[in-house]
Amino acid sequence: MSAPTDAAAPGPVRAIVAPRPADVAAARCAAWGACSDLVASPHDVDVRAALAARLGSFDALPHGAGLAALAEELARADEARLRAEYSGLFEVGSEGPPVPIREDLQTGQLAGTREDIVRFYDFFGYRLDDRFAWAPDHLSVELEFVHFLCYREAQQDDDVLSYVLAQLDFAERHLLRWVPALAGATATHAAGSLYARVVAGLADFIRADHAWQQSTVGPAGP
């Protein structure tokens, strides 16, 4: 298994060159699941119990402390507050949401964005629930996809490298290209709000996790 053939130009053959301990793999899986929960619409699902259940499960992750604090705060938040704040930022507005939480909208509807995302999903067997299939570029869905890849890595099957490289490539082609801008837009529109802090924390976590991943992967030997 390899990355989608038209997802990126050919590059040097890569390999895992530093340890990726099983406890860290499990912690990353839990952390990315929490990332997805943090920006899921509270109108569609109440994630507070799921976030509370995840607390403590990514303590082995060196860069997970900030994420854990946000997960704990949102798990304790009032549901009505979450719905009102989420709607005001990401869902309502006479000319669309004040801050689009979908990559295609946040990046100006660049040609091929949704198609590339769906290609990743299809290639790795990630299937969306019918309720969310209309928005494969929603941030919560993209983060859940990385959680799925981490889960497959944590299973330690025969194709770990493919799932590791897919995490790196998807972050570079998508998450790192738009989540920092989303964090800036959210902070501008609702400075100090819970979701502004959540998105800023996610941007920090994505950058830190990507840097950690890069430290474990390099050119394959002869």
Query: Which of the four pLDDT bands, split at 50, 70 and 90, describes residue 81?
Result: very high
Which 8-state DSSP code applies to residue 94? B
Domains of the chain by residue range: 19-216
Does residue 7 carry a pLDDT above 70?
A: no
- Asked if pLDDT for residue 40 goes beyond 60, the answer is yes
Indicate the SS3 state at residue 1.
coil
With contact defined as beta carbons under 8 Å apart, do 143 and 173 qualify?
no
Q: How far from 125 is each of 32, 173, 198, CA to CA, in Å?
A: 18, 19, 29
Q: Give the model's pLDDT for residue 152.
A: 94
Of 87-101, 108-122, 144-158, the one with minimum mean pLDDT is 87-101
Q: What is the rounded CA–CA span in Å between residue 189 and residue 152?
A: 37
pLDDT reported for residue 85: 95
pLDDT digits (tens, 9 = 90+) for 170-205: 999 999 999 999 999 999 999 999 999 999 999 999
Q: From CA 61, how far away is CA 27, in angstroms rounded?
A: 6
**Two tokens at 135?**
């928005």
Query: Contact at 8 Å (CB) between 147 and 35?
Result: yes
Residue 93 is predicted with a pLDDT of: 63
Task: At 21, list the tokens.
Answer: 């301990």
Class of domain 19-216: mainly alpha
Per-residue exposure over 15-47, b if at least 16 CB sit within 10 Å of its own CB, e if not: eeeeebeeebbbbbbbbbbbbbbbbbbbeeeeb
pLDDT for 126-166, tens place per residue? 999 888 888 999 999 999 999 999 999 998 777 899 999 99
Written as six digits, the tokens of 136 are 């494969």
The residue written with tokens 């705060």 in the block is 73
C-alpha span between 201 and 208 (Å, rounded): 10
Q: What is the end-to-end Cα distance of the chain in Å, rounded?
A: 21
pLDDT at 61: 93
Mean pLDDT for the chain overall: 91
Question: What does the pLDDT read at residue 129?
Answer: 85
DSSP assigned state of 111: T
